[in-house]
Amino acid sequence: MPQHSLFDITPEHILALDDEGLRLLIARLCKADLRLRGLPVSAVLYGGNQIAADGGIDVRVELSAGTEISGSSSP
């Protein structure tokens, strides 16, 4: 089955995102990955002041201690 052009993402699409759009994209990708693994999407934390001096942490995944994740769930 051919893919819809909606899913044809180019480097130019990513470069066109502003900081907030990029943060939202990363958060959504993290949630999708957790969902595929049967893990809680509530573990993905993002938001707040985009330019805060927090060491660059804009999206964070906090899973219970001992939760193992390895490899990639993307095709």
Q: How many domains does the chain have?
A: 1
Would you say the C-alpha torsion 10, 15, 19, 20 has a positive or negative sign?
A: negative
3: pLDDT strictly greater than 80: no
Residue 5 falls inside a structural domain: no
Give the integer Cα–Cα distance in Å for 54 and 31. 22
How confident is the model over 23-66, as pLDDT tens digits? 899 999 999 999 999 999 999 998 777 677 766 668 889 999 98
pLDDT of residue 1: 55
Residue 72 falls inside a structural domain: no
Residue 71 falls inside a structural domain: no
Residue 25 CB contacts under 8 Å (≥ 6 apart), including other chains? 14, 17
Q: Which pTM does this prediction carry?
A: 0.74
| Domain encompassing residue 31 | 12-61
pLDDT of residue 69: 82
pLDDT of residue 45: 92
Residue 57 falls inside a structural domain: yes
pLDDT of residue 47: 79
- For the chain, give the longest Cα–Cα distance: 46
